[in-house]
Amino acid sequence: MDQDRRRGDGLPVIDAPPTRRQLLCGLGCAVVASQLPGCTIAEVFGDTAGQAVSFNVADAEFTALDDLNGMAALDVGIRKILLIRRNEAEVIALDRICSHLQCEMIPGVIGIWENDGLRCVCHNSRFSAEGALVAPPTGDTGGPIEAFAVEFDASTGEGTVYVGVDAT
């Protein structure tokens, strides 16, 4: 501490004007910082092959589909799917990633099924059962989310989701 340097009100000044070393350090930091945007790491885990994936509401991860409006998550490679028990006879499958800012619509937490539509809690995007964007967030635009074909047998609780492949 330099006790000789004091301001008019008696409080000491704790540091001197920047030295050349400090300026170079600051410039170095700025240069490093400016290069960082090029250092983006972007990996999404999972494979890309199209698949037909079976599910059964008797399985623990899908028991929510036993109830009307129940939702369950299903990952098919890189695709994140949201299964929704739309009515007694029908289970639908929608993309779980919101088209607005890519929030993951975790069932019952961020993705809410209400009024026969899907609401993303992040910024209140609303989608129809077919994946069409019904209401974008205020002041924003957005697009639809993908809907996937589903075959579902309510009597057995078994179903199949077709992701990247045609339904048979």
Q: Compute the CA torsion angle 150, 154, 158, 163 (nearest 10 deg).
A: 10
Q: How many residues does the chain have?
A: 168
Q: Counting contacts by CB under 8 A, is residue 23 touching other proteins? A: yes
Handedness of CA 64, 70, 76, 79 (dihedral sign): negative
Residues in contact with other proteins, shown as a per-residue x/- string from 54 to 93 under the rule CB under 8 A: -------x--x-------xx-x--x-x-------------
Residue 23, H or E segment: helix 20-35
Residue from 58, 109, 132, 135 touching other proteins (CB under 8 A): that is 109
Q: Counting contacts by CB under 8 A, is residue 106 touching other proteins? A: yes
Residue from 52, 69, 108, 136 touching other proteins (CB under 8 A): that is 108
Residue from 24, 46, 116, 156 touching other proteins (CB under 8 A): that is 46
Q: Nearest CA to 160 among 48, 50, 64, 45?
A: 50
Is-contact 74 53, C-beta < 8 A? yes
Q: Counting contacts by CB under 8 A, is residue 24 touching other proteins? A: no
Distance of closest approach, residue 119 Cβ to other proteins, in angstroms:
9
60: Cβ contacts below 8 Å, ≥ 6 apart: none
Residues of this chain that bind other proteins (CB under 8 A): 1, 3-4, 10-15, 17-18, 22-23, 25-26, 29-30, 33, 36-37, 39-50, 61, 64, 72-73, 75, 78, 80, 97, 101-104, 106-110, 112, 121-122, 138-139, 164
